[in-house]
Amino acid sequence: MRDFSYLRAASVDAARAGAIQPGAMLLAGGTTLLDLAKCGVATPDTVIDVTHLSGLSAIEVDADGARIGALAKMAAVADDPAIIAAFPAISQSLTLAASQQLRNMATIGGNLMQRTRCPYFRDPGTFSACNKRAPGSGCSAIGGVTRNHAVLGVSDACIATYHGDLAVALVAFDAVVEIGERSVAIDDFFLVPGDTPERETLIEAGEMITGIRVPASAGAGNSVYLKVRDRQSYEFAAASAAVSLELEDDGRTVRDIRVALGGVATKPWRARAVEQALIGKAIDAETVKAASLLAVEGAVSNGGNQYKIALAPRVVARAISDLASKTARTSGGQA
Amino acid sequence: MTRTIPLSLAINGKPHTLDVEPRVTLLDALREHLSLTGTKKGCDQGQCGACTCHVDGERVLSCLTLAAQVEGRQVTTIEGIAGEDGTLHAVQKAFIEQDAFQCGYCTPGQIMSAVACIREGHAGSDAEIREYMSGNLCRCGAYNSIVAAVREAAAAVSVNEKVEAA
Ligand SMILES: Cc1cc2nc3c(=O)[nH]c(=O)nc-3n(C[C@H](O)[C@H](O)[C@H](O)COP(=O)(O)OP(=O)(O)OC[C@H]3O[C@@H](n4cnc5c(N)ncnc54)[C@H](O)[C@@H]3O)c2cc1C
Ligand code: SF4
Ligand code: FES
Ligand code: FES
């Protein structure tokens, strides 16, 4: 790891002023930044430690929804009783991510900003071509080993997956990212690669995420995060789904549903076509299966990741069916 | 270009001062600068858990933590969990009892993780232990015995707590 200067920010303003300098990077939990510095991908001249700032780690939940400070730790949010009750999918997306050690270190702000695990991106010594790292240099993944690469939102320039779990749940809930004074809808916050894969979010130099707001929604309390992966724990998603569901009083007709996908797209992926196909319909296995296939509309495979196109709709269908049968039971409707 | 910064760290309840480059991780500070070699370096990239320590009582990976970041915090390493008189911690005893290692390289990290896992209340069943210990890999595959040791230690800790509370 190349050496750098270390600054401990005394305030958010000082952190921003420092971060606008060329070569400066914010350091929160360090679980992405120091990892990538060791890979030779991140080469900061200065790191600005924000972990000693106070007042940015509160977790507040009320009738309007939740507000989570950018420095709240993944573990703290995962275990927060009010979050578990109001937004179970958020808690589950965090509990199923990384390991407890990493969750104790990593912050919510840093979590959104985590970088892809594309092995070519992470290995500049062996693979010089990577449009995300070195714009215009090409993409080593296309034509290479692509088992964990994206099938949705890809471009000719980059097919790297966004691997984070939390953001998938946040996209389902229409969360808002607070960047100091400005607020951005989370679906707009993340960018598809297009011709500029080096640009992943709307964050500009010198900006800092200060918190996340999650508006209350009817189905939020009845939500789930289902993560399917190559090993049972401590692994990124092969495919995942965050789903929230509100049924009519009959216990079978969909009043509102939110569906988002992880592990298969270049950004946390809202599957609105699935939602539209189900609103107003009675839930049964065939309807759910047919609607879930819409989750991968427009998907493009690059060899080894072909399986994701078959897997993702099944993950969506299972998440919806599990929620529906649970809802039917608890509402006393037809089970 | 070698610029060092002075740091004062509290490790296992004792103050230490050192001069290190800003990039030095807590793991390297412990092993290379303070001769506390109980904490192990496996992957050095946050993937194996061998370097697990406690910062302010919570388990973290020292390979992805800068030494500079833990100034003002309490660091506990494997050297700091036995009693002053050398009495082993309940988790250490359970690892010996259950033969929960082969080569022993992952063991300090496993033990630090297990101590925290029990304290967090995440050792309620074998399934929960497996889930919450999943950040500690063991290349020798001693997993079954590790789960047994954590289960045994969790029971011992809760008995101790009941005795202390009585
Ligand atoms: C072995 C391993 C396994 C993992 N498994 C999973 C998994 O299964 N699921 C999952 O979702 N994640 C996983 N992760 C990723 C992990 O969740 C992220 O590394 C973590 O959330 C990043 O948070 P941090 O606070 O450590 O960020 P840092 O590393 O400190 O920062 C990350 C980036 O964000 C910037 N940044 C930090 N804070 C802010 C802010 N407030 N505003 C603007 N920019 C900021 C930094 O400059 C840096 O570029 C894993 C990581 C590792 C190492
Ligand atoms: S997929 Fe994207 S991140 Fe991976 S090598 Fe290609 S350009 Fe780089
Ligand atoms: S050495 Fe830190 S996790 Fe492997
Ligand atoms: S005992 Fe050898 S790695 Fe675990």
- Picking from A244, A242, A250, A253, the residue whose alpha carbon sits closest to that of residue A279 is A253
- What's the confidence (pLDDT) of residue A335? 37
> Nearest ligand, CA of residue A93?
1
- What's the confidence (pLDDT) of residue A334? 43
Identify which of A3, A51, A234 has the shortest CB distance to residue B1.
A3
- Picking from A254, A257, A262, A256, the residue whose alpha carbon sits closest to that of residue A226 is A262
Q: Is B165 helix (H, G, I), strand (E, B) or coil?
A: helix
Q: Please list the pLDDT of chain B residue by residue as tens digits (166 residues).
A: 568 999 999 999 999 999 999 999 999 999 999 999 999 999 999 999 999 999 999 999 999 999 999 999 999 999 999 999 999 999 999 999 999 999 999 999 999 999 999 999 999 999 999 999 999 999 999 999 999 999 999 999 877 776 766 6
Identify which of A30, A35, A101 has the shortest CB distance to residue B66.
A30
Kindly state whether residue A210 falls inside one of the protein's structural domains: no
Kindly state whether residue A96 falls inside one of the protein's structural domains: no
Residue B16 Cα distances to A183, B32, B58, B64, angstroms: 43, 14, 20, 20
- The per-residue DSSP string of A67-131 comes to EEETT-BHHHHHT-HHHHHH-HHHHHHHHTSS-HHHHHH-BHHHHHTPPP--TTTT-TTT---BT
Inform me whether the C-beta atom of residue B59 falls under 8 Å from chain A C-beta atoms.
yes
Instruction: Answer whether A120 contacts ligand 2 (Cβ < 6 A).
Output: yes
Instruction: Give the angle subtended at the CA of B91 by the CAs of B85 and B97, to the nearest 5°.
Output: 100
Element (H, E) at A327: helix A306-331
Element (H, E) at B58: strand B58-61
Task: Say how many Å lie between the CA of residue A30 and the centre of ligand 1.
Answer: 7
- The CATH number covering residue A22 comes to 3.30.43.10
Whether residues B25 and A34 touch (CB distance < 8 A) is answered with yes
Averages of pLDDT over runs of 10 residues in chain A (335 residues) are: 96 97 97 98 98 96 98 98 98 98 98 98 98 98 97 98 98 97 97 98 96 95 97 96 96 96 98 98 96 98 97 98 83 46
Whether residues A104 and B49 touch (CB distance < 8 A) is answered with no
* Residue where a domain stops, chosen among A49, A67, A84: A49
Which atom from ligand 3 is nearest to the alpha carbon of B40? 1
What is the rounded end-to-end Cα distance, in angstroms, of chain A?
Answer: 57
Kindly state whether residue A126 falls inside one of the protein's structural domains: no
Cα–Cα dist A33/A43, whole Å: 9
Whether residues B60 and A51 touch (CB distance < 8 A) is answered with no
- The per-residue DSSP string of A130-195 comes to BTTTSTTS-BSSTTS--TTS-SBS--SS--PPP--SHHHHHHHTT-EEEETTEEEEHHHHB---TT
Q: Ligand 2 pocket check: which of A158, A161, A199 to mutate, most ligand atoms within 8 Å of Cβ?
A: A158
Report yes or no: B94 and B153 within 8 Å, Cβ to Cβ: yes
Query: How many domains are contained in chain A?
Result: 2
Kindly state whether residue A70 falls inside one of the protein's structural domains: no
pTM above threshold 0.90: yes
Chain A hits for B65, CB-CB cut-off 8 Å, are: 30, 34, 105
Mutation target vs A (from B1, B8, B23; most A CBs, 10 A cutoff):
B23
For residue A49, what are the β-bridge partners? Answer: A8, A27
Q: Which residues contact A162 (CB under 8 A, 6 or more apart)?
A: A116, A150, A190, A200, A262, A265, A266, A267, A268
- The CATH number covering residue A241 comes to 3.30.390.50
How long, in residues, is chain B?
Answer: 166
Kindly state whether residue A292 falls inside one of the protein's structural domains: yes
Cα–Cα dist B48/B137, whole Å: 5
B:87-146 residues touching chain A, CB 8 A cutoff: 113, 116-117, 120, 122, 130-132, 134-136
Domains and CATH numbers, chain B: 5-80 (3.10.20.30), 90-165 (1.10.150.120)
Kindly state whether residue A44 falls inside one of the protein's structural domains: yes
Identify which of B45, B117, B135 has the shortest CB distance to residue A234.
B135
Token representation of residue B47? 């993937």
- What's the confidence (pLDDT) of residue A331? 59
Residue span of the structural domain in which A20 resides? 5-49
Element (H, E) at A13: helix A12-19
Kindly state whether residue A167 falls inside one of the protein's structural domains: no
Whether residues B134 and A233 touch (CB distance < 8 A) is answered with yes
ipTM of the complex: 0.96
**Would you put residue B46 in left (φ > 0), alpha (ψ -120 to 50) or beta?**
left
Instruction: Give the angle subtended at the CA of B137 by the CAs of B132 and B142, to the nearest 5°.
Output: 95
Report yes or no: A131 and A157 within 8 Å, Cβ to Cβ: yes
Kindly state whether residue A266 falls inside one of the protein's structural domains: yes
- What's the confidence (pLDDT) of residue A333? 44
Q: Is A48 helix (H, G, I), strand (E, B) or coil?
A: strand
* Mean pLDDT score of chain A: 96
Report yes or no: A308 and A238 within 8 Å, Cβ to Cβ: yes
- What's the confidence (pLDDT) of residue B159? 77
For residue B9, what are the β-bridge partners? Answer: B16
Question: What is the CB neighbour count within 10 angstroms for residue A108?
Answer: 26
Which strands make up the sheet holding A211-215, listed edge to edge? A59-62, A65-69, A211-215, A176-179, A182-185
Q: Which residues contact B162 (CB under 8 A, 6 or more apart)?
A: none
- Residue ranges lining ligand 4, Cβ < 6 Å: B 101-107, 138-140, 142
Cα–Cα dist A223/A174, whole Å: 14
